[in-house]
């Protein structure tokens, strides 16, 4: 399909969408009704019907009308803020209006409405740019990886410029390719024309095609080329006066660039010399700073000292990028800073009172944190990796294919061993060739492109990611191998000579993988994937054209690597991108179908950012594949759980009106962060952790017989010290009775009994969040604050495993928990607990209060959940909050902790345990929320950390 047909298709979709919006009942929008509206539009302009792919138009409209958007959640601090954004203020906003119309060409009306509301929320939390006097607002927008954060801040910039912000600085990553890509996106969405070093003929693009009026055309100080950052020559010739149109700067987070920009602001823009501080400041131009990937490089990783009264050392020297960003903000009397990230761990570690004399306050998001809702068509970590349950991760889309042939079994040799060095030569079986798994991944990409052509997506971009090393020299070898493989396929498929084996391999992959996967996913996600699959003959007929279009690119951080998709609009760029760290963060790969991924960083935030495959896959979700190792897949599962845990915590806090500072204090001491980058934490060697408001489960357990016997004896000693239990506990839930058959419950157990159990129980070192000695120390510290002094102990039975006697009258049927992954050193499981168990101690009214809190938080963002069914049991954060803080009419019980003991049957684990392996005792602890702020120190050995988790970046 040529570019003209693509334009026509977009026009038809837009007109039909407008007609369908007039339908009173959206539930009546069916394929039949859509077909009628298409006919109506084509009667208005019959020539549009020539070559129009009606199926593609229909599929796109069905997707648009089945999409739903959640609500953003918000933590805000309104101190010093004046509300200002009202409807009348928006009436003449031309930048936003033209951006909105441009988005409507390719997005659902619901998505555009959602973006309108969301950007209104963020803009309204900033200050009115027309407000006189001094003001400074700092906030954070937390999105999802590859979820449209650039589109969001482009909308915010348009509205900010409409409202009167005059200088907009976008901090766009560390490398030229990301800066260049961001400039291109803003050229399209805000400026409306292409930015070039010498602007002779203005090339109108994007929003400029809708409203190209020169009188509103924003100015630019940076351009889309490789050397388009803010330069000395630009600085010399640049003068700004207050009556001019807004100015856009898209700059790297680079010391030289930011120093140059700061110098220019102070020497050429500042209009007042502040007598008190001696600084030159800008009073007549309000500033908006957008910090893209705000957790990356912007955070001060030095440790600022605070005195006993909490006052910061104002002589502290922040790290370079942080210092320069803050000095730029501090040079304006009126400024707003909005950070954007999908991984906010590091930002939350910024001290909320951090400040220095020269830089002003630190970048803590003191004004607000907004958690962006995920629309229903977003494919994120939970969709791909599923959620933990007692048996396995469930609910994940079947897209992951495990790689086993990248290295030798020992992990030190082979094509791409995990710990290879710079200069490594990737050889498979001593030959200069890719392993079979990479060849299969390339074939999968060709098949995906072929099917997308058959589905009318020929003119859309398609990308494959190969991310196996951080060394450029090794990437070059991989690039040559992939290029050679594509050349080989091109020869065979286009000439039809010696092609039989190639087609046989592809046909085998199609039939054993693509056909069953597509049928399964289209059944589960009918809104995202068309019904049915094409025949092999139809697919094979497309392969010669597909392989001819494919380019192989190496991504090394220069702007020429930015993959200018806009140059290929109408034809669609088909690219295999090979890269490492430069690909890892921020760079968008349009139409990403297949990823081949080996990089083994274990930091949550770094790994999450590497997940370029998250995002939107309209009409081709079933064709996507992620080739990776079982270990990386497991770590991504950790990420999905951690991100979901922190978002649930955020939702609960938002529902109860907490501030950014309260959330910051909570996350700073969260056990999730025992496995994130230590360099991004304020403490140089140690973490100060609180387990309050958390659920901890042992899901990585020993296999060693002696240790399992010791843990069993420890559990028996605890149970022997307890009195008579409640047998088969029952509780009322929404008027019905819920029973824990075969289980036992004790209340009012002393903290010393629980501490004794934890001191003698041995947790596995790979149980990353559960360290029994640390937990014992924490409970001891809390009991001194009169919290966690009275415990409920539950021994949960009713499983399908062999019986286990913990004492003569306490016999339980053990649980079956299948082994997850392949680990010789440990027995790993998905989840230990059933979600209902955690509320076993709650009376009905407290249970209802927790359920209400859960449902209120869920309503805000149902798009994250696998299904759109409102929860009917309370989630963990709500249970622990109600227990620890109480609720309306519900008493708080911060003194009450819960310890759960489970017996697991090793012979039902499918983990190769010997016949004489003793029953495995596992535990979980539910800690109530706390107001005491008590923490314990978790010591991290620097060398050990580097060995285990790699460096921070």
251 with 155, same domain? yes
Q: Cα separation of 658 and 673, whole Å? A: 21
335 with 429, same domain? no
Query: Can you list the positions of beta strands (E) in 799-866?
Result: 803-807, 810-813, 827-828
Q: Would residue 377 count as lying in a domain?
A: no
229 with 115, same domain? yes
Q: Cα separation of 880 and 893, whole Å? A: 10
Q: Cα separation of 339 and 171, whole Å? A: 9
39 with 79, same domain? no
Q: Would residue 635 count as lying in a domain?
A: no
Q: Please report where in the chains the tokens 């009419």 appear, as a residue.
A: 889
345 with 406, same domain? no
Structure tokens at 658: 């907490």
Q: Would residue 601 count as lying in a domain?
A: yes
pTM, two decimals, is: 0.71
Q: Would residue 771 count as lying in a domain?
A: yes
Domain end position, chosen among 66, 89, 116 = 66
Q: Cα separation of 919 and 909, whole Å? A: 11
Residue 343's domain spans which residues?
Answer: 73-177+212-304+313-371
Q: For residue 482, count CB atoms less than 10 angstroms from its CB and return exposed for 0-12, middle for 13-18, buried for 19 or more.
A: buried
Query: Can you list the positions of beta strands (E) in 437-479?
Result: 462-467
Instruction: Give every CB contact of residue 236 below 8 A, 6+ residues apart in sequence.
Output: none
- DSSP states of 505-573 as a string? HHHHHIIIIIHHHHHHHHHH-TTTS-SS---HHHHHTTHHHHHHH-EEEEE-SSGGGS--GGGGTTT--
Number of domains in the chain: 4
Query: In this structure, are residues 137 and 336 in contact, taking their beta carbons and an 8 Å threshold?
Result: yes
Instruction: Give every CB contact of residue 616 below 8 A, 6+ residues apart in sequence.
Output: 146, 147, 148, 377, 378, 379
Phi, psi of 486 (to 5 degrees): -65, -40
850 with 895, same domain? yes
- In this structure, how many other beta carbons lie within 10 angstroms of the beta carbon of residue 753? 16
759 with 857, same domain? yes
Average pLDDT per 10 consecutive residues for the chain, totaling 953 residues? 62 84 66 83 86 79 69 87 94 95 84 91 97 94 77 96 96 85 94 86 91 92 89 78 83 94 92 84 95 76 52 66 92 95 63 71 86 76 64 66 85 83 91 95 97 88 88 91 95 88 96 94 78 92 94 70 56 83 60 82 52 69 88 72 72 74 63 46 54 88 95 97 95 91 95 96 84 91 93 95 95 91 80 90 93 81 59 89 88 94 93 92 93 70 39 38
CATH number at residue 285: 3.40.50
Q: Cα separation of 754 and 585, whole Å? A: 44
Handedness of CA 388, 393, 395, 401 (dihedral sign): positive
Query: In this structure, are residues 775 and 897 in contact, taking their beta carbons and an 8 Å threshold?
Result: no
Instruction: Give every CB contact of residue 876 below 8 A, 6+ residues apart in sequence.
Output: 648, 695, 835, 838, 926
Q: Cα separation of 447 and 522, whole Å? A: 17
- H/E element holding 792? strand 790-796
572 with 693, same domain? no
Q: Cα separation of 924 and 902, whole Å? A: 8
Q: Cα separation of 93 and 819, whole Å? A: 58
pLDDT computed for residue 723 by the predictor: 92
Q: Cα separation of 519 and 529, whole Å? A: 9
57 with 122, same domain? no
753 with 796, same domain? yes
Q: Cα separation of 356 and 360, whole Å? A: 5
pLDDT computed for residue 347 by the predictor: 57
Q: Please report where in the chains the tokens 């050995």 appear, as a residue.
A: 941
59 with 78, same domain? no
pLDDT computed for residue 939 by the predictor: 59
- H/E element holding 492? helix 472-495
Q: Cα separation of 250 and 339, whole Å? A: 14
Handedness of CA 761, 763, 769, 773 (dihedral sign): positive
Domain end position, chosen among 66, 84, 119 = 66
With H, G, I as helix, E, B as strand and everything else as coil, classify residue 754. helix
Candidates 616, 573, 622; CA nearest to 398 is 622
Query: In this structure, are residues 174 and 157 in contact, taking their beta carbons and an 8 Å threshold?
Result: no
Q: Would residue 203 count as lying in a domain?
A: no
Q: Would residue 807 count as lying in a domain?
A: yes
Domain end position, chosen among 565, 597, 628 = 628
Q: Would residue 297 count as lying in a domain?
A: yes
508 with 543, same domain? yes
Q: Would residue 816 count as lying in a domain?
A: yes
């Amino acid at each position: 399909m040529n570019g003209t047909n693509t334009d026509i298709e977009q026009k038809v979709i837009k007109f039909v969408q407008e007609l369908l919006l007039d339908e009173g009942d959206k539930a009546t929008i069916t394929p039949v009704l859509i077909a009628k509206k298409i006919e109506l539009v084509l009667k208005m302009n019959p020539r549009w019907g020539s070559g129009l792919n009606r199926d593609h138009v229909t599929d796109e409209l069905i997707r648009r009308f089945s999409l739903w958007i959640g609500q953003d959640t918000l933590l805000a601090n309104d101190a010093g803020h004046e509300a200002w954004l009202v409807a009348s203020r928006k009436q003449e906003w031309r930048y936003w209006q033209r951006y909105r119309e441009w988005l409507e060409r390719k997005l659902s009306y619901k998505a555009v409405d959602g973006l309108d509301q969301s950007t209104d929320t963020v803009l309204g939390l900033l200050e009115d740019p027309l407000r006189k006097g001094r003001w400074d607002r700092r906030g954070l927008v937390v999105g999802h990886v590859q979820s449209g954060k650039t589109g969001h801040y482009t909308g915010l910039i348009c509205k900010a410029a409409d409202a009167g912000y005059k200088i907009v600085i976008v901090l766009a990553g560390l490398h030229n390719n990301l800066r260049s890509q961001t400039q291109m996106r803003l050229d399209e969405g805000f400026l409306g024309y292409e930015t070039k070093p010498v602007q002779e003929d203005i090339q109108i693009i994007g929003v400029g095609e809708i409203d190209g009026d020169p009188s509103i055309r924003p100015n630019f100080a940076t351009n889309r080329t490789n050397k388009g950052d803010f330069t000395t020559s630009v600085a010399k010739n640049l003068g700004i006066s207050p009556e001019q149109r807004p100015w856009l700067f898209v700059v790297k987070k680079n010391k030289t660039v930011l120093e140059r920009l700061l110098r220019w602001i102070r020497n050429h823009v500042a209009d007042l010399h502040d007598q008190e501080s001696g600084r030159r400041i800008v009073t007549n131009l309000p500033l908006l700073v957008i910090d893209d990937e705000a957790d990356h490089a912007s955070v001060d990783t030095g440790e600022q000292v605070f005195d006993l009264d909490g006052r910061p050392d104002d002589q502290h020297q922040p790290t370079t990028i942080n210092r320069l960003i803050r000095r730029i903000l501090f040079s304006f009397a009126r400024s707003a800073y909005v950070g954007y990230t999908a991984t906010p761990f590091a930002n939350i570690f910024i001290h909320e009172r951090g400040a220095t004399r020269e830089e002003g306050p630190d970048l803590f998001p003191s004004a607000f944190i907004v958690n962006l809702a995920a629309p229903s068509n977003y494919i994120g970590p939970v969709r791909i990796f599923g959620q933990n349950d007692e048996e396995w991760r469930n609910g994940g889309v079947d897209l992951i294919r495990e790689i086993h042939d990248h290295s030798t079994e020992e992990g030190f040799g082979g094509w791409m061993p995990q710990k290879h060095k710079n200069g490594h030569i990737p050889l498979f079986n001593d030959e200069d060739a890719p392993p079979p798994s990479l060849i299969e991944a390339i074939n999968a990409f060709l098949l995906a492109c072929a099917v997308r052509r058959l589905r009318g997506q020929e003119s859309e971009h398609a990308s494959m990611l190969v991310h196996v090393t951080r060394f450029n020299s090794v990437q070059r070898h991989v690039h040559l191998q992939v290029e050679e493989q594509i050349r080989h396929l091109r020869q065979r498929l286009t000439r039809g000579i010696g092609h039989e084996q190639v087609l046989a391999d592809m046909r085998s992959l199609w039939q054993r993988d693509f056909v069953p996967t597509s049928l399964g996913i289209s059944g589960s996600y009918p809104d995202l994937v068309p019904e049915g699959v094409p025949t092999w003959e139809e697919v094979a007929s497309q392969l010669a054209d597909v392989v001819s279009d494919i380019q192989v690119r190496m991504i090394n951080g220069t702007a020429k690597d930015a993959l200018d998709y806009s140059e290929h609009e109408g034809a669609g760029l088909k690219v295999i991108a090979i890269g490492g760290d430069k690909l890892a963060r921020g760079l968008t790969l349009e139409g990403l179908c297949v990823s081949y991924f080996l990089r083994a960083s274990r930091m949550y935030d770094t790994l999450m950012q590497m997940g370029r495959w998250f995002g939107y896959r309209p009409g081709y979700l079933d064709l996507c594949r992620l080739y990776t190792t079982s270990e990386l897949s497991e770590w991504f599962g950790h990420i999905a759980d951690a991100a979901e845990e922190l978002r649930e915590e955020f939702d609960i806090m938002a529902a109860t009106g907490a501030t950014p500072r309260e959330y910051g204090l909570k996350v700073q001491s969260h056990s999730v962060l025992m496995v994130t980058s230590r360099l991004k934490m304020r403490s140089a060697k140690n973490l100060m952790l609180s387990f309050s408001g958390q659920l901890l489960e042992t899901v990585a357990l020993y296999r060693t017989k002696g240790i399992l016997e010791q843990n069993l004896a420890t559990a028996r000693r605890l149970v022997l010290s307890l009195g008579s239990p409640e047998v088969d506990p029952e509780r009322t839930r929404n008027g019905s009775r819920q029973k824990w058959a075969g289980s036992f419950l004790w209340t009012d157990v002393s903290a010393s009994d629980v501490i004794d159990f934890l001191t003698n129980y041995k947790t596995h070192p790979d149980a990353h969040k559960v360290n029994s000695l640390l937990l014992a120390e924490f409970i001891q510290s809390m009991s001194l604050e009169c919290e966690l002094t009275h415990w409920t102990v539950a021994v949960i039975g009713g499983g399908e495993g062999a019986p286990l006697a913990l004492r003569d009258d306490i016999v339980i049927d053990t649980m079956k928990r299948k082994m997850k992954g392949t680990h010789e050193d440990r027995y790993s499981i998905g989840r230990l607990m059933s979600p209902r168990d955690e509320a076993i101690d709650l009376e009905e009214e407290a249970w209802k209060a927790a359920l209400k809190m859960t449902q209120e938080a869920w309503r805000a963002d149902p798009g994250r959940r696998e299904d759109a069914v409102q929860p009917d049991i309370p989630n963990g954060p709500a249970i622990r909050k109600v227990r620890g803080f109480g609720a309306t009419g519900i008493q708080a019980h911060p003194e009450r902790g819960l310890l759960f003991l489970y017996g697991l049957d090793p012979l039902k684990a499918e983990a190769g345990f010997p016949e004489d392996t003793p029953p495995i005792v596992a535990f979980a602890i539910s800690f109530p929320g706390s107001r005491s702020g008590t923490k314990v120190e978790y010591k991290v050995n620097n060398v050990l950390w580097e060995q285990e988790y790699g460096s921070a970046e």
